[in-house]
């Protein structure tokens, strides 16, 4: 992608004509289908807002469903090597570059994903500094349990984003970031909404009843296992990626890796993973409700509307 400084930023009137659309909701509610549908009728392209779909060769576990895109161009998918660590800072950098490039080409940005933190920060125009690793701090935390790390992190901030404490490595990184902000207050200021440049976007939420969501999650997990999820993760391990790096990604990559390593039986893996995905979907909805409390307007539409009715409702909201 070309540097942002080389792009021609559209005038305000042009930007209004290309008002962004964000399609959000919990896992398994059909976000990709709806985003592609809107992009196809509104001359748009997709900007993914999924924290794991950025990694190549991690397809079934992240639910990329690339076949759904057809001829619609998508961005911020398959941009990183598996085993690497992508983060919010990098996402906002890549998002802003992609977003402005899209406007310059006359394409409507359609943001699609369930990583609420990515969506909210991107739409609020918040920038984050790159936080370097602190080897001394990491060493001091290396023998702490996950519960101990969570207690330490809670001393820095209120734990809105519970994915910070999914694994020990995530918790250590979160502490590292908060410690950096404490020692560099000028960096913390750059995350403030006072300095942000919000994006004008219509946010569409896909509303799915809890029991239907649970049924779709369970059915989808069974299908992904049948399609070769275990083989996908075995291949990643065989390629030289460390098991701890896969466990870091959580959910499918955590539990299936533990199964492949012989630490969980198939049934234990399935049961624990299914439960974790259900819990993850609840956390997603908690984040989106929090977005509303923090000032974002999300227009919730039934996930199972007929295509023509869904298009009509969105057009009316635009």
* Residue with the two structure tokens 């909404």: 193
Residue scoring higher pLDDT (208 or 88) = 208
* pLDDT over threshold 80, residue 166: no
* pLDDT over threshold 60, residue 159: no
Q: What tokens does 304 get?
A: 């199972």
Cβ neighbourhood burial of 25 (10 Å; 0-12, 13-18, 19+): buried
Residue scoring higher pLDDT (128 or 80) = 80
Q: Going by DSSP bridges, is the β-strand pair 108-112/44-48 parallel, antiparallel, or unpaired?
A: parallel
In this predicted model, what pLDDT tens digit does every residue of 230-248 receive, in sequence order?
999 999 999 999 999 999 9
- Residue 167: pLDDT band (50, 70, 90) is confident
Across the range 253-278, mean pLDDT stands at 97
Q: How many CB atoms lie within 10 A of CB 225?
A: 18
Which uninterrupted H or E stretch holds 138? helix 135-141
The DSSP bridge partners found for residue 20 are: 201
- Residue 12: the pLDDT is 41
Q: Tell me the backbone φ, ψ of residue 316, rounded to 5 degrees.
A: -65, -35
- Residue 252: the pLDDT is 96
Q: Who contacts 116 (Cβ-Cβ below 8 Å, separation ≥6)?
A: 24, 284, 287, 288, 290, 291
Q: What tokens does 47 get?
A: 């900007």
In this predicted model, what pLDDT tens digit does every residue of 195-224 receive, in sequence order?
678 999 999 999 999 999 999 999 999 999
Question: What string of DSSP letters covers 302-316?
Answer: ETT--HHHHHHHHHH
- Residue 164: the pLDDT is 56
* pLDDT over threshold 70, residue 32: yes
Average pLDDT score, the chain:
89
* pLDDT over threshold 90, residue 182: no
Q: Which CATH architecture does the domain made up of 4-128+191-317 adopt? A: 3-Layer(aba) Sandwich (3.40)
- Residue 63: the pLDDT is 95
Q: Who contacts 4 (Cβ-Cβ below 8 Å, separation ≥6)?
A: 96, 97, 100, 101
- Residue 160: pLDDT band (50, 70, 90) is very low
The residues spanned by each domain of the chain are 4-128+191-317, 135-189
- Residue 171: pLDDT band (50, 70, 90) is confident
In eight-state DSSP terms, residue 262 is T
Give a three-class secondary structure readout of 264-300: CCHHHHHHHHHHHHHHHHHHHHHHHHHHHHCCCCEEE
SS3 assignment, position 47: strand
* pLDDT over threshold 80, residue 2: no
* pLDDT over threshold 80, residue 25: yes
In this predicted model, what pLDDT tens digit does every residue of 100-133 receive, in sequence order?
999 999 999 999 999 999 999 999 998 777 788 8
In this predicted model, what pLDDT tens digit does every residue of 301-318 receive, in sequence order?
999 999 999 999 999 999
Any idea which of 180-189, 198-207, 221-230 has the lowest mean pLDDT?
180-189
Cα(100)–Cα(173) distance, integer angstroms: 30
């Amino acid at each position: 992608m070309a540097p942002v400084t080389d792009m021609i930023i559209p005038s305000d009137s042009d930007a209004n004509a290309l008002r962004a659309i964000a399609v959000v909701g919990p896992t398994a509610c059909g976000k990709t289908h709806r985003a592609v549908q809107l992009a196809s009728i509104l001359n748009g392209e997709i900007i993914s807002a999924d924290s794991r779909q950025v990694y190549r060769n991690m397809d079934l576990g992240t639910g990329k469903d690339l076949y759904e895109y057809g001829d619609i161009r998508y961005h911020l998918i398959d941009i990183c090597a598996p085993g690497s660590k992508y983060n919010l800072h990098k996402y906002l950098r890549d998002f802003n570059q992609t977003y402005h490039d899209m406007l310059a080409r006359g394409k409507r940005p359609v943001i699609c994903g369930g990583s609420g933190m990515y969506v909210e920060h991107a739409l609020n125009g918040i920038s984050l500094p790159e936080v370097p690793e602190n080897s001394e701090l990491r060493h001091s935390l290396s023998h702490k349990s996950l519960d101990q790390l969570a207690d330490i992190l809670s001393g820095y901030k209120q734990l809105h984003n519970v994915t910070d404490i999914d694994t020990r490595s995530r918790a250590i990184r979160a502490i590292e970031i908060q410690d950096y902000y404490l020692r560099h207050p000028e960096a913390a200021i750059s995350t403030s909404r006072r300095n942000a440049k919000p994006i004008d976007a219509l946010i569409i939420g896909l509303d799915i009843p809890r029991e239907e969501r649970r049924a779709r999650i369970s059915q989808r997990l069974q299908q992904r296992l049948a399609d070769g999820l275990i083989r996908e993760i075995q291949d990643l391990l065989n390629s030289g990626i460390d098991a701890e790096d896969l466990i870091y990604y959580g959910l499918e990559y955590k539990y299936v890796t533990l199964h492949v390593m012989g630490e969980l039986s198939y049934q234990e893996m399935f049961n624990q993973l299914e439960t974790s995905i259900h819990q993850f979907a609840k956390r997603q909805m908690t984040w989106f409700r929090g977005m509303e409390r923090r000032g974002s307007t999300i227009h919730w539409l039934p996930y199972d509307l007929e295509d023509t009715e869904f298009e009509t409702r969105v057009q009316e909201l635009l």
